[in-house]
Chains A and B, each alone.
Chain A
């Protein structure tokens, strides 16, 4: 796969051009975009069944389930924090809604809002603890991660007597909630899931917030240097807690999708996905140290992950090697990303 680096635009040595190309290269998502295009072409060549609109929308669906939470995780990382509970909270949200309504026999909408309140509270607690104690968010949310993992299991077992939630499809409100969170429609032979549209919407919203609003500036500021941000009057605490709550809101959203698409949830689910969100954000050009990145990049990162994980199947490669292939593709994506970014900084240094 060394030939792939040739695909990147090679600048003519010597003179530096200013203008559009330079401005493009300075954007965080450009490396990820180049990597995504390369991987896309790569699978188009290698996997015949990848070359259909149906497959493309399956990939988009898979990306959206990762991408929706990843948008929040990306924003949080730009703000300089991590959330390791983001994978499990998806299942906490679904389980809470499902079991509350099943146990008390109430309309699912009630449970959905209770679940939302619960998730926002968890997000708030994450943020509040991080800000109050000064302990790195990596540790605080690792704690939340374990607590939620245990509570998911323990409470589910207590309420339903098993380790999976009960079928919600017969409870009132199922149809209308299903329409909101997990419906699909057909365009020709292609199935489009509304989660894809929601994903685009959240990405657009996050992009707008980051680029055009005061809150966006605050996020970059607290992620770059929280102390200087505070010194110039940025409400650091509010911003960061808000970011944690955004993550848990989006986790809730995907939890709703999972619940109303699959009707039952296993209490042990979601573990490990928190890293996929972080990977999507990093592949998409977000800095692990905070202060740099954007929402479109994170979306492309999620797309790369979705495309790679399914592309390997479409290509029909030996399933035992799946994770190895996945790792190589992700490394490749990060390398291309780095290469493009280095080129862009070199140019700026030259000018």
Chain B
């Protein structure tokens, strides 16, 4: 057994050497000192508070990844112990909130995507004397549920503003690309765009398959040549839309919600006109920080109103500043 494991180790070492010697190819990872990234801050739990952070994230979404990064950084900065949990289904999210109440956390930050389903669990938290902060979704209902503060974007407002900017560019017939069927937030964005540009048309695509998104958009652009703008509701779909435009020779303007590294580069290259960013990192960061301030100092942020984290526009005028942040996965 020992001999075998030694052979294995030798083999592993040889492989490593081979890889290291082959590691001259460009475009790979930039080898940075791991310890410098995200350093600083206090040790977890040094402030003595525990905060439960609950979302309706579907695993694998780049957007939620940034929310989580923001929350983790805030926890580090304030010395809070963060308990992250998520479930896309409303009843299960309610159970997660209840779990947090039962484990007697000091504060709860939660998305309020399905306010009616979560109302009971939120109430039991408040009854137990645990402060609750809403973020990301539930802007109209958070007060009614008893949450203290709210950090997020108004999806309809974001859509309306995006639509206005498109109208200024002369767009008459935008195509709004919905990558997840039946999502209230996504429908609200498209409805917002439509309220600014009445000629807006929606289309459903399968967000889990880039090839399917591309061909669907390609087909739509061939079917209706009068489409003069495309609004994607997520950054990965914007990349697919660029491919579809190339294939079908369409001259439609492209704008997108949210950001990722590739989309940011495309904004710089002029392939995407602008992005409507709701700053997910800020949502996560503020939700945790506001709870910390409330627990520590009795603070209240927003003056009794929701704090808007968006819409923030990213276009050619400010992309140079923002591009590096997308590489850190914080914007």
Contacts and interface: CB of A to CB of B under 8 A. Distances in A.
Do A and B interact with each other, yes or no? yes
Interface of A: 47, 49, 52, 54-55, 58, 61-62, 65, 101-107, 110, 152-153, 157, 161-164, 166-174, 191, 257-258, 261-273, 306, 309-310, 313-316, 319-320, 322-323
Contact of A61 (B26, B60, B62, B215): B215
A98 to B, nearest CB: 11
Given A105-B23, A313-B203, A319-B204, 10 more contacts: A49-B222, A65-B212, A153-B60, A171-B25, A264-B239, A266-B62, A269-B208, A271-B208, A273-B209, A314-B222
13 contacts: A47-B223, A49-B224, A104-B23, A106-B22, A107-B25, A163-B61, A169-B27, A262-B243, A270-B209, A309-B216, A315-B223, A319-B202, A319-B204
Given A258-B210, A269-B208, A103 B28 contact: yes
Contacts of A65: 211-212
Contact of A102 (B19, B29, B208, B247): B29
B240 A58 contact: no
A320 B176 CA distance: 13
Interface in B201-242: 202-204, 206, 208-212, 215-216, 218-220, 222-224, 236, 239-240
Contacts of A171: 25-28
Residue in B61, B215, B262 with the greatest tally of chain A CB atoms within 10 Å: B215
Nearest to A48: B223
Interface in B30-78: 58-62, 65
Interface of B: 19, 22-29, 58-62, 65, 178, 181, 202-204, 206, 208-212, 215-216, 218-220, 222-224, 236, 239-240, 243, 247-248, 260-262, 329
Nearest to B222: A49
Contacts of A47: 223
Q: Kindly list the 7 A-B residue pairs having the minimum CB-CB distance in the complex, ordered from nearest.
A: A268-B60, A170-B27, A105-B28, A171-B27, A105-B23, A313-B219, A172-B25
A11 to B, nearest CB: 38
A152 B59 CA distance: 11
A49 B227 CA distance: 14
A167 B260 CA distance: 11
Contacts of B22: 104-107, 110
Contacts of B19: 104, 106
Contact of A264 (B65, B218, B262): B262
A102 B31 CA distance: 11
A88 to B, nearest CB: 10
B216 A313 contact: yes
A212 to B, nearest CB: 32
A268 B59 contact: yes
Contacts of B218: 58
